[in-house]
Amino acid sequence: MDDKTLTCDVLIVGGGPAGLSVASTLPDDVKTVIVHQDREIGLPVRTSGGCWMEDIERLGIPDGMYNRLNTNEAFADAAHTVIPMGDAVPVILDTPKVYKWLAEQSDHKDRTLLMETKFLSTRLRDDGFYESEIRARDNGVERVVSKYIVDGSGWHFAVLDALGLAKKPERLAVGTEYEYPLGDNQPDRGIIFLGKKVPAGYGWAFGTARGTLRVGVGVIQPDTDESPRKLLDSVIADKPYLDRLGLKLEGDPVVHSGILPSVAYDDRLVFGNVIRVGDSANFATPTAGEGIRVCIELGRLLGVQLGKAVKTGRRGPLRAYERHCRRKLKRDYKWGFLVNNRAASYTPDNWNASVRRMSKLGPDAVVATLRGEFPLLKVAKISWSVLRTLIRSRLHRLKSRLGLA
């Protein structure tokens, strides 16, 4: 082989939280190459970084890499509520810091991190190895020969698409976000806004660990052909609307944008020696679209299981990874996707009713829905809570019509 060819045990395509987490738990002597398209880990920012305090503690993410949101509110066109969270605390991650922290966990290993490089294609050779073409920084083409490939390329499905194993998702969650100086805005406040301003999606605003304020809009395409940036610009230009949200925007913003798959969960993750993880495996929750915690947890699991497969040559460890993900995600994500589809068709009146109902559902139902967790007991409680709220609402309207209220 020429000097433009690298050989390794594992090629990881994508330097996001999933791919970096896989590398962090691979055995130290497993030779690994990570292909990352950006110049720097964690930049540009492509995610809002939503997470939960309980997951921060469980995953060991250090202090200083997140901001707690202690007050959370929801706005519709004719409704407003403080969202009941109970003991659950949403947080916003400083994603550049978190991603760099994840990358540092494999610095001591037999790992090569290729920055500003792009995966182009791959083929399975007769000897059972994959030969991948990578566009290098100088626009030349390098080759990486590996026994295993991890597709952590996000919604691009780069490896799966190149091998004809899966098609890129056609339904996508597309978001644009502006980051402003915090100014006089409350640092630990988070809001979501819904209705006419964000058809087939929702908007958000919150303080960050960097001492800034982010305001964003996300929509589902092709459920709507609206541009999230145009919708966001409309929000920013509407001062009375910002006043209602309690937001004061100052200075010139930094622009972030990102894309997530918004399709039903597919539980096939292992294709021989090609394995998918992260957004390529549709790990983001279908309800709120936050998935960094899932990517880190299951990426770490894949690293452990893939290390066993490399050492033994057996497929069993990879199948165990696939089974674990199926047990953890399939049922919840099926319910979550139903919620996603229903919410995408909501009218402004639907959102008004939903926001009014939110304060009456109780923390368990609200947090379960936001986290995309729907075990049978929680589904029963949520269903009963919704039914009880509807019955009370209709009884109140009936009494009003009869003059009994």
pLDDT of 400 reads 62
CA distance 38 to 154: 13
CA-CA distances (angstroms) from residue 1 to 5, 132, 185, 358? 6, 13, 59, 62
pLDDT tens-place values along the chain, 405 residues long: 445 789 999 999 999 999 999 999 999 999 999 999 999 999 998 988 999 999 999 999 999 999 999 999 999 999 999 999 999 999 999 999 999 999 999 999 999 999 999 999 999 999 999 999 999 877 788 899 999 999 999 999 999 999 999 989 999 999 999 999 999 999 999 999 999 999 878 999 999 999 999 999 999 999 999 999 999 999 999 999 999 999 999 999 999 999 999 999 999 999 999 999 999 999 999 988 899 999 999 999 999 999 999 999 999 999 999 999 999 999 999 988 888 888 888 999 999 999 998 888 888 888 988 898 886 555 555 554 545 555 555 565 566 666 655
Parallel, antiparallel, or unpaired for β 50-52 and 189-193? unpaired
The secondary structure of 256-320 as a DSSP string is EEEEEE-S------EETTEEE-GGGGT-S-TTT---HHHHHHHHHHHHHHHHHHHHH--SHHHHH
The answer to pTM > 0.85 is: yes
* The two structure tokens encoding residue 49: 């970084």
pLDDT of 267 reads 94
Q: Are 215 and 206 in contact (CB under 8 A)?
A: no
Task: Measure the N-to-C terminal CA separation of the chain; round to a whole number of Å.
Answer: 84
CA distance 164 to 294: 26
Q: Are 183 and 247 in contact (CB under 8 A)?
A: no
CA distance 92 to 66: 5
pLDDT of 402 reads 64
220-253 burial string, b = 16+ CB within 10 Å, else e? bbebbebebbebbeebbeeeebbeebebebeeeb
Residue 194 sits at φ, ψ, to 5 deg, of -140, 160
Strand partners, 212: 181
